[in-house]
């Protein structure tokens, strides 16, 4: 519990601190006088006075603020020059100051994603099976490791399929590692009408698994029918199989069935075993059974590859968030299951840190992205609405009455506060369910 609280408090302080720092530095760049830069709310725990700004850490860590001269269009300190008061700045400057906080959170989300990607070890894809009469059968071999396609380093399956599909059927070059030696081959993808895409005709996995059984748990269906570790499954229902994928594909073709006939090679002899598989799924048949493989190898993304992958992942985060919101409005997902208050976020971050640093920082990046995008929403009291008010004033050519704008932001703040209290209440209620 204490660890969860400390992780949550530290994370919020980082997210809020950077958000407010965005406002702070852009405001400073436009010459705005800043009374205080605070992390947290409530009584001061620590403060330091700079040349003109007080930097403080306050008791309640869930928030923060940058107190600018004239932020509420009322400035009581007459010693501050009028050109350093926020509401005397041009509307575009005020809009940029408002947008700087959310932008800092978006930047943090991308930077964290990039660092995580640079720190990840990516498995090298291997040829795990070849499809008969497909282009790959002529040039690829079982166990080949895919290093590059058309000069692009391949670090994920998505990169490989994208490179193949965007070839439009033109020959592509592949840099492979075969039995420890690098070689370059050329292959021409073929178009599969049923899948509406170009393919090579091969299965690519992290490990190339053979047809040798590496683990046969006593409770498994294989063990119940006399199969042992070290057996090679040479055929399924008479269909020859030399790889684990070939074994599984042959079983998929045969099911549903009452039995599967496996031809086993054991100590140089061929043995047949009949497996009773009535009402069994493919998952039931191969449950907990492991096949031998040629091992896996890993490598890290370089600078350029890391930026590309991080950008794709960042865009993917945004797409996932949009999809979640769409699902809520479409009634496909309950809002209670999606929206989390401080208690829910603390629980998620606490679980994330226990899983591992990489997973935790991905959560933190997604949380920073959420924080930034939410603040860009043009709802009263949020940064997005302040930017909209400033831009509206710029287009309109004269300022909005400060009392009217103040009332609108106050109403928005009360609504947001009410929502936060409601969501927090639901978070706490879920803990006791």
pLDDT by residue (tens digit) across 76-100?
677 888 889 888 888 899 999 999 9
Q: Is the pLDDT of residue 341 over 80?
A: no
Please report, for residues 167, 169, 329, 422, the alpha-carbon distance to residue 200 in angstroms, rounded to integers and kept in the order given: 11, 10, 40, 53
For the segment 398-422, the average pLDDT, to the nearest whole number, is 80
Q: Which CATH number fits domain 210-276: 2.170.140.10, 3.40.50.11540, 2.30.42.10, 1.10.10.10?
A: 2.30.42.10
Cis ω for the linkage preceding 397 (within 30 of 0): no
Helix, strand or coil, per DSSP, at residue 319: helix
Contact yes or no for 134/190 (Cβ under 8 A): yes
Look at residue 85 in the predicted model and tell me its pLDDT.
87
Look at residue 337 in the predicted model and tell me its pLDDT.
66
Q: Which two tokens stand for residue 385?
A: 């609405």
Domain range list for the chain = 2-118+348-431, 123-205, 210-276
Look at residue 427 in the predicted model and tell me its pLDDT.
67
Higher-pLDDT residue of 341 and 374 is 374
Q: Is the pLDDT of residue 169 over 90?
A: no
Fold of 123-205: Pdz3 Domain (2.30.42)
Look at residue 131 in the predicted model and tell me its pLDDT.
92
Please report, for residues 79, 85, 249, 255, the alpha-carbon distance to residue 76 in angstroms, rounded to integers and kept in the order given: 9, 11, 78, 81
pLDDT tens profile 361-400: 999 999 999 999 999 988 888 899 989 988 888 888 877 7
* Domains 123-205 and 210-276 in one fold: yes
- Residues 268, 270, 275, CA angle at the centre, nearest 5°? 135
pLDDT band at 38 (very low <50, low <70, confident <90, very high): very high
Contact yes or no for 178/144 (Cβ under 8 A): yes
Look at residue 189 in the predicted model and tell me its pLDDT.
93
Q: Is the pLDDT of residue 42 over 90?
A: no
Residues 6+ apart with CB under 8 A from 315: none
Q: Name the residue with tokens 């391949």.
A: 154
Look at residue 338 in the predicted model and tell me its pLDDT.
65
Look at residue 26 in the predicted model and tell me its pLDDT.
96
CB hemisphere CA count around 122 (13 angstroms): 22
pLDDT band at 194 (very low <50, low <70, confident <90, very high): confident
Look at residue 352 in the predicted model and tell me its pLDDT.
85
pLDDT band at 345 (very low <50, low <70, confident <90, very high): confident
**pTM score:** 0.79
């Amino acid at each position: 519990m204490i660890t969860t609280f400390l992780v949550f408090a530290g994370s919020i302080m980082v997210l809020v601190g950077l958000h407010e720092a965005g406002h702070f530095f852009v405001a400073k760049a436009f010459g705005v006088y800043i009374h205080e830069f605070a992390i947290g709310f409530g009584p001061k725990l620590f403060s330091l006075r700079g040349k003109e700004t007080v930097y403080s850490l306050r008791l309640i860590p869930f928030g923060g603020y940058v107190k600018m001269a004239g932020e509420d269009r009322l400035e009581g300190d007459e010693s501050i020059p009028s050109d350093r008061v926020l509401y005397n700045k041009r509307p575009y400057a005020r809009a940029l100051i408002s947008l700087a906080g959310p932008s800092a959170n978006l930047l943090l989300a991308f930077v964290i994603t990039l660092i995580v990607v640079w720190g990840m070890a990516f498995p090298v894809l291997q040829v795990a099976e070849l499809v008969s009469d497909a282009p790959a059968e002529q040039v690829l071999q079982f166990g080949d490791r895919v290093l590059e396609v058309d000069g692009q380093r391949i670090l994920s399956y998505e990169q490989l399929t994208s490179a193949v599909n965007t070839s439009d059927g033109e020959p592509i070059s592949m840099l492979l590692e075969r039995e420890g030696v690098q070689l370059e081959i050329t292959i021409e993808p073929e178009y599969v009408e049923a899948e509406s895409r170009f393919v090579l005709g091969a299965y690519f996995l992290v490990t190339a698994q053979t047809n040798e059984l590496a683990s046969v748990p006593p409770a498994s269906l294989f063990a119940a029918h006399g199969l042992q570790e070290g057996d090679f499954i040479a055929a399924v229902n008479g269909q020859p199989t030399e790889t684990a994928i070939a074994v599984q594909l042959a079983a998929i073709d045969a099911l549903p069935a009452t039995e599967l006939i496996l031809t086993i090679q054991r100590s140089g002899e061929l043995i047949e075993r009949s497996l009773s598989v009535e009402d069994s799924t493919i998952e039931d048949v191969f449950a907990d059974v492991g096949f031998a493989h040629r091992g896996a190898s890993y490598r890290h993304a370089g600078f350029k590859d890391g930026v590309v992958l991080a950008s794709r992942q960042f865009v993917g985060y945004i797409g996932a968030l949009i999809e979640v919101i769409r699902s809520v409005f479409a009634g496909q997902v309950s809002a209670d299951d999606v929206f989390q208050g401080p208690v829910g976020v603390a629980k998620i971050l606490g679980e994330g840190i226990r899983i591992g640093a990489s997973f935790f920082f991905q959560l933190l990046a997604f949380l920073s992205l959420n924080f930034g995008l939410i603040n860009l929403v043009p709802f009263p009291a949020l940064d997005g609405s302040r930017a909209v008010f400033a831009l509206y004033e710029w287009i309109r050519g004269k300022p909005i009455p400060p009392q009217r704008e103040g009332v609108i932001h106050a109403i928005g703040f009360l609504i947001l506060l009410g929502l936060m209290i409601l969501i927090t209440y639901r978070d706490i209620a879920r803990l006791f369910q």
